[in-house]
Structure 1
Amino acid sequence: MYEEMTGSHRIAWSGLPASVAAALGRALGSGIVSADSQPGGFSDGLAARVRLADGRRAFVKAASSGVAAFHRREARVAEVLTPTGLVPRLLHVHDDGTWVALVFEEVAGHLPAQPWRRPELERVLSSLTTLTEALTPSPVPAEILARPRLGGWRELSARPELSGRPELSGRPELSGWRELSGWRELSGRPEPDGRPEPDEAAGRDRSAVL
């Protein structure tokens, strides 16, 4: 069910233009000889583990059209976070004006099970705690960050045309998100800027990478 809801319509490696694949190989100093598409995620973009002719491995994300804008923003965020050593290293960014591809170091691991298993959940929560402590205040400039997802509830509830809509009324949990998104104490903290999804965590034997 989870894969049906997320990432089930991803672009396959064969859908990536040969010119883009070749450009990635040149940038990495070795041609890409195989690719294994990965499930999960909430976009139609490509996500694949790749093997280079010299035996090295990497993780590639790529997209075109509207989705490419999200990849450009992710590249800017990754460029800031890579020097911290807390996230997979960004190795290369390809942007030809239509296609945007990000190449990261590969993380040897697996997606957490759905529904969550307690040992995996505890590792992910531990990693989130470490990131929160190390990245507060956020090292990413405010102009790069998009508006927080949590802030969307506050904006939605303020729209006059939606006042009294049955699907929004009688939902106390929405009030909680609205209140949380307005807390001044959370300004600049990583958590309000995005809600971690299971596909954003790669489990290792004793740790998790987000």
Structure 2
Amino acid sequence: MKHHRQHQQQNIKLFIPKKITASFYCSFNERQKLPSSNIPYIAFAGRTNCGKSSLLNSLTGNKKLARSSSTPGRTQLVNFFSINGKLFFVDLPGYGFSKASLEVRNNISKTTNDFLLKCKDRLIIVFLLDIRVEPSEEDFQMKEWAKYHNVPLIFVFTKSDKLSSNKLINRKKRLIEALSIADEEVVMYSSKTGRGKDELLRKINQKISEFFTTDKPFP
């Protein structure tokens, strides 16, 4: 098993090259079985309008990959995107959309929870937070859920181009303190300028490598 893990780790060191080919694969609630992969799913989570769709499009270089909407709660499905035919990015529905109906909120919550619980042993979460907005109760719940289930988190502060340099420094410090995390755990990202793209890809690679060096069996 150890030799097998080492072999897999060697194969995934450059699993996401700078040139990415990405395409929509499926939606979670349309299939009984999850897509097969020997690499953990990379799930992107965050509040509604935190810039998740824009980040996915920026990260993959495909401006039409993930659809963004001005209507909070419009994205109600867990969507899988195939990355270079080797692994999957997973776009989770945004949470915290007070204008959506109770039925819609409950359906999205159930879909997301079903996915997270089913995949918690083969999952890495890229956790997006708008740097201009204070963390919400749902943000803290996501962080605690990941900690409880030992799911790796990558913190990404989005929309870094929206603030001046001084405000950016202050907001970053504020969010780090509120979340009780270290500075090196955070990627500052701008989908508009591309800031943070290389760093985020590096951290994803790192988390996958760490996943295969643990004793946790791959499901």
TM-score when scaled to structure 2?
A: 0.28
- Larger CA Rg, structure 1 vs 2: 1
Answer 1 or 2: higher relative contact order, Cα 8 Å, separation at least 6: 2
TM-score when scaled to structure 1?
A: 0.29
